[in-house]
A and B are shown apart, each in its own frame.
Chain A
Amino acid sequence: MQRNLEKVRNIGISAHIDSGKTTLTERVLFYTDRIHKINEVRGKDGTGALMDSMELEKERGITIASAATHCDWKGYDINIIDTPGHVDFTVEVERSLRVLDGVILILCSVSGVQSQSITVDQQMKRYEVPCIAFVNKCDRSGANPFKVIDQLKNKLGHNAVPMQIPIGLEDRHDGVVDLVTMKAYYFEGAYGEKMVEKEIPEELQDEAARIREEMIDAASVFSDDLTDAILEEQPISEEMIYDAVRKGTNARQLTPVFMGSAYKNKAVQPLLNAVVEYLPSPLDIENEAIDLDNNDETVPLVSDFEKPTVALAFKLEDGKFGQLTYIRVYQGAVRKGDLLTNTRTGKKIRTGRLIRMHSSDMEEVNEIPAGHIGAIFGIDCASGDTFTGSGVNYSMMSMHIMDPVISLSLKPVDNKAEISMSKALNRFTKEDPTFKTYVDKETNETIIQGMGELHLDVYVERMRREYGAEVITGQPRVAYRETITRKSTFNYTHKKQTGGAGQFGRIAGYMEPTDEWFEFVNKITGGRIPTQYIPSCEQGFKSCMEKGPKMEFPVTGIRVTIDDGAYHAVDSSEMAFAAAARGAFLEAYSKAKPVIKEPIMKVVIETPNEFQGSCMGLINQRRGIIEGSQEEGVMSVIESKVPLSEMFGFSTVLRSSTQGKAQYTMEYSNYKQVPQSVAEEIVRKKEEEKKEDQK
């Protein structure tokens, strides 16, 4: 592996589904000699593109899990994570962005910036990942890369600057003009592998000169040398432009835009040049960890091979030879046979086989040095765990993980299926922190929870295919929550002093709404409740949060303050105070005006203009709020917020209302109080279900 970190790039390829990221990655691997034949996503030969290693991904033509790979380009070592585009799998995108130093944001030159591009962009912002943009599919009918650049500016707020202009568009797309070298590039050979440099066609010279001037003007903000050269009318060297654009990109204040068509093998090589030229090396990025031995203070991590090792496990995969753990090393180096500590569990592990992945093929290596991405075989850990070498007890910052919003019950068809299901669930929950599972104590059913219908569908399907677990799925259920809306007091005495060992405990105080899940405040003075019983009080209150006393949904957002109480020298016990806390909770909860909250989804519909009105009507029917609708050429985009419970079966309705011409995306937005009339209906249904279960 490359030890000169200036020549290392850890990049991701992020974008909206179907904008061609897997196709692009395939081309990158071909041009960098990692593969010797190009397969298309959903290709005619039925093999599917190389990066889509899961069978299901090949079939659906989307990338579900990030496959890591690497390639060499002009002496640079490029590690690539192919990230999924569907919002339901954003935890994968988030994990990838956490460990990457830069991203290629792919946009379709026809459909432009779509809602999921906005989501991906927000994630990039959260992790401060610099990016360059590639406007793909310039060969498609209706391609307009400059419209996409405008959208990058207006919709995503990027300072997007074209670094190229296309030579022809749609079926006449032949190549690109590079605005730095001011040369035209064409791509010849069966797979466009021969990049031919020519003079700029005459008809494009004026346009190229004008856009180059704008580009240099935008870049000059980041370089005094370039500004001086412009002001003094000195010749502007290519190096000056590269340097200015690199600085702007790394500061996330400039997004250089490239264009081409991965499918038609146009302009992928210049994009690779841009990766090494503009995206940062691990040395350019400041990474931090939390020092667990020093009050969780943040400490900088240095890409120094000799310092104690710090590595983050960002992805797990179940392979033929056991668990494969993808890691990014931030400091030191992970070597074969090293003794590392998992700082979450405190367990020590001995590293076995180390590999560098090339999609589903592996290359064994002796070490993974700081700044690199690789994988370890045969260690047991969860995604997001930090491994450290001797001398440090660091944890990488926790990743932003959302709570699941939808659940589904599973029933295995037989014993064999039950065993396989259990194995599969164990694996999936380790791989994906947004996928959760538990057994419902009342119905004894296994419940899986996730971020959307497709998210759960994919896991059920994987269970069948990869583990042979045949399961019957129930109706998807919305993860409702309960919370209180006002302050209320309690003063509860738990007393059982009639025969046998007595029980006594009195607790008084109040509960009130809060933004946290649960808070407990102890304001007991003068030993009215002895200190040893306080944890039992807290535990008693906490135990009531699992299920609301009235509507039986998980409770959230309650702060309990205890400020008075009483005990009995003989009859008080931890158990008595826990019971008193439960009683106090019940007493105060009903007075605190409890309400049901439901997950609200951000739904974006893209429809031909003629169906805009009817699509907006569909949102209205579903208790949805239309945030806005915008015409973009022949298509309209409708942004809305709709309760998840109203979205089941929406794709069928949308298809029939728009002759199948509209599509939509959906992602979790927030929890919101359910209107009273709907709340009554939910409670009624819940009671019916309960009766049904009891039968």
Chain B
Amino acid sequence: MLKKDLIKRSPAGRIIGEEEIDRVNFGAVLSRAGVGKTQYLVQIALTKLLKNEKILHISLNDPIEKIKARYLEAYNDLVDSIGYVDPQKALRLWEEIKNEKIAVSYNEQTFDPEKIRAYLKSFKKDDLTLPALIIMDGLDFDQDLNDTLKGLEAISEKFGIPIWYSMQTHREQDFAPSGYPVQLEKVKDRFDKAVFLQPKNDKIESVILTDENRSNEYYLLNPATMMIVE
């Protein structure tokens, strides 16, 4: 029951569409530094964890302790958003789902998609359930990522796992003529879905850039919790 309530409240589920999260090879959350890309990605991952599905969170910036803390914080924010919840019940659910998350922190300089492939292969080899989602946080889209994205695309297709990325934009940079941030413009053919976050007054505005059905849906988020402001 609590699980269902939390999934319903999930900002990621509501903005992107619960089913839509899976219907991609690549998805991206874009914003300039410090707006809340990673926390938004964590909310996307939480929708999977709440269905008892495994997720693989790869970070090129955060140490694993920080990743763990981000998940706990996002879960607590989600719980708080539905009003009173029996704390014991919430804790039990957290204990149940937290182990579905695998956090891996790679060094940005030496990161190679082959490392992920080797790991996922071990799941196949031992006939274990594969992660349902990969979060890829910290790739620098100002660089030429062609080879890396190619490798990750192959992984997404081979193992059938959607990958959601964080993509950092810059305040001083103009948008491309298409209306996309330049970081997305360069790689837009590879991405099925992209969510753009930008500060608006004391809130954060979220809009989907690549979904025609939803491109006019704007949501305001609380910058502290990334929950939708009703």
Chains A and B belong together in one complex? yes
**Which of A's residues lie within 8 Å of B, judged by CB?**
154-155, 609, 612-614, 616-617, 620-621, 625-631, 633, 639, 641
Give the 3 A-B residue pairs with the shortest CB-CB distance, closest first: A617-B122, A613-B118, A628-B64
Closest CB of chain A to B206's CB: distance in Å? Answer: 28
Do A617 and B68 form a contact, CB below 8 Å, given A626-B102, A629-B104, A630-B63? Answer: no
Instruction: Compute how far the CA of A622 lies from the CA of B121 in the bound complex, rounded to whole angstroms.
Output: 16
- Please, how many angstroms separate the alpha-carbon atoms of A641 and B68 in the complex? 15
Within the assembled complex, what's the spacing in Å between the Cα atoms of A620 and B131?
Answer: 12
B116-141 vs A: 1/0 string, CB under 8 Å? Answer: 11110111011010000000000000
Question: A639 — nearest CB in chain B belongs to which residue?
Answer: B64
CB neighbours of B118 from chain A (8 A): 612-614, 617
Q: Are A154 and B65 in contact (CB under 8 A)?
A: yes
| CA distance in complex: A386, B121 (Å) | 57
Q: Is the CB of A620 within 8 A of B126?
A: yes
Chain A residue at minimum C-beta to C-beta distance from B125: A617
Bound complex: CA A596 to CA B143 (Å): 53
Q: Which of A154, A155, A625, A630 contacts B99 (CB 8 A)?
A: A625
Q: A190–B150 Cα gap in the complex (Å)?
A: 60
> Closest B-chain residue to A638, C-beta based?
B104
Residue numbers in A under 8 Å from B122 (CB-CB): 613-614, 616-617, 620-621
Known: A154-B63, A617-B126. A630 touches B105 (CB 8 A): yes
Please list the residues of chain B having a beta carbon within 8 angstroms of any beta carbon in chain A.
Answer: 63-65, 67-68, 99, 102-107, 110, 115-119, 121-123, 125-126, 128
Q: Closest A-chain residue to B123, C-beta based?
A: A620
> Are A627 and B63 in contact, CB atoms less than 8 angstroms apart?
no
Once A616-B119, A617-B119 are accepted as A-B contacts, the answer to whether A629 and B105 lie under 8 Å apart by CB is yes
Q: Which residues of A contact B119 (CB under 8 A)?
A: 612-613, 616-617
**A620 lies within 8 A of B104 (CB):** no
Q: Which residues of A contact B103 (CB under 8 A)?
A: 627-629
What residues on B are CB-neighbors of A617 within 8 Å?
Answer: 118-119, 121-123, 125-126
State the Cβ distance, A121 to closest chain B Cβ, in Å.
Answer: 13
CA distance A574 to B135 in the complex (A): 64
Check if A628 sits within 8 Å of B126, measured CB to CB: no
**A609-B110 contact in complex given A617-B119, A627-B103, C-beta closer than 8 Å:** yes
Ordered by A's residue number, 26 sampled pairs between the chains whose C-beta atoms are within 8 Å are A154-B63, A154-B65, A609-B110, A609-B115, A612-B115, A612-B118, A612-B119, A613-B119, A614-B118, A616-B102, A616-B119, A617-B121, A617-B122, A620-B122, A621-B126, A626-B102, A627-B102, A628-B65, A628-B68, A628-B102, A629-B105, A630-B63, A631-B105, A631-B106, A631-B110, A641-B99
- Contact status of A627 and B68, CB under 8 A, knowing A613-B115, A620-B122, A621-B126: yes
Q: A632: nearest residue on chain B (CB-CB)?
A: B107
A621 to B107, CA, bound (A): 26
- Contacts of A620 on B, CB cut-off 8 Å? 122-123, 126, 128
Tell me how far the C-beta of B134 lies from the nearest C-beta in chain A, rounded to whole angstroms. 14
Bound CA–CA A241/B65 (angstroms): 33
**For A621, what are the chain B residues with a Cβ–Cβ distance below 8 Å?**
122, 126
Q: How near does chain B come to A180, taking the closest CB pair, in angstroms? A: 31
B109 CB to closest chain A CB, in angstroms? 10
For A612, the chain B residues whose CB sits under 8 A away are 115, 118-119
With a cutoff of 8 Å between Cβ atoms, the chain A residues found around residue B116 in the complex are 613
A362 CA to B121 CA in the complex, in Å?
A: 60
Contact partners of A609 in chain B: CB under 8 A: 110, 115
CB-defined contacts of A641 to chain B, threshold 8 Å: 99
- Distance in angstroms between the alpha carbons of A627 and B123 in the assembled complex: 16
Note all chain B residues with C-beta closer than 8 A to A630.
63-64, 104-105
Residues of A within 8 A of B64 (CB): 627-630, 639
Q: In chain A, what residue has the closest Cβ to B104? A: A629
CB nearest neighbor in B for A634: B110
Min Cβ gap B50→A in Å is 17
- CB neighbours (8 Å) of B68 from chain A are 627-628
Contacts of A614 on B, CB cut-off 8 Å? Answer: 118, 122
Query: Which residues from chain A contact B125 at a C-beta distance below 8 Å?
Result: 617
How many angstroms from the CA of A155 to the CA of B105 in the assembled complex?
14
| Contact (Cβ within 8 A) A628 B67 | yes
Query: Besides the contacts A616-B102, A627-B64, A641-B99, what 17 more A-B pairs have beta carbons closer than 8 Å?
Result: A154-B65, A155-B63, A155-B65, A612-B118, A613-B118, A617-B121, A617-B122, A620-B123, A620-B128, A625-B99, A627-B103, A628-B64, A628-B65, A628-B67, A628-B68, A629-B104, A631-B106
Closest residue of chain B to A154 (Cβ to Cβ) is B63
A464 to chain B, nearest CB (A): 39
Complexed CA–CA distance, A616 and B106 (Å): 14
Task: For B104, list chain A residues within 8 Å (CB).
Answer: 628-630
Complexed CA–CA distance, A631 and B65 (Å): 13
Q: Which B residues touch A613, using CB under 8 A?
A: 115-119, 121-122
Q: Give Cα distance in the complex from A613 to B123, angstroms.
A: 10
Q: Which residues does chain B contribute within 8 Å of A629, judged by CB atoms?
A: 64, 102-105
Bound-state CA distance A617–B65 (Å) is 21
Docked pose: A589 CA to B69 CA in angstroms: 40
For the complex, what is the distance from the CA of A620 to the CA of B105, rounded to whole Å?
18
Q: Which residue of A lies closest to B124 (CB)?
A: A617
Q: How far is the CA of A523 from the CA of B90 in the complex (A)?
A: 32
In whole angstroms, what is the CA distance A220 to B178 when docked? 54
Taking the closest CB of chain B, its distance from the CB of A156, in whole angstroms, is: 10
**Closest Cβ–Cβ distance, residue B84 to chain A (whole Å):** 24
The smallest C-beta distance from A490 to any residue of chain B, in angstroms, reads 27
Q: Which residues of A contact B126 (CB under 8 A)?
A: 617, 620-621
Query: B108 to nearest A CB, angstroms?
Result: 10
Chain B residue at minimum C-beta to C-beta distance from A631: B107
Q: How far is the CB of A113 from chain B (nearest CB, A)?
A: 11
CB proximity of A425 to chain B, nearest CB, Å: 38
Report the minimal beta-carbon distance from A294 to chain B, rounded to whole angstroms.
35
A174 to B68, CA, bound (A): 41
Q: Which residues of B contact A626 (CB under 8 A)?
A: 102
Considering only CB atoms, which chain A residue lies closest to B106 in the complex? A631
Q: A628 to B126, alpha carbons, bound, how many Å? A: 20
- Of chain A, the residue at the smallest CB distance from B107 is A631
Q: Which residues of B have CB within 8 Å of A628?
A: 64-65, 67-68, 102-105
Q: Which residues of chain A are near B65, meaning CB under 8 Å?
A: 154-155, 628
| Bound: A628/B119 CA distance, A | 13
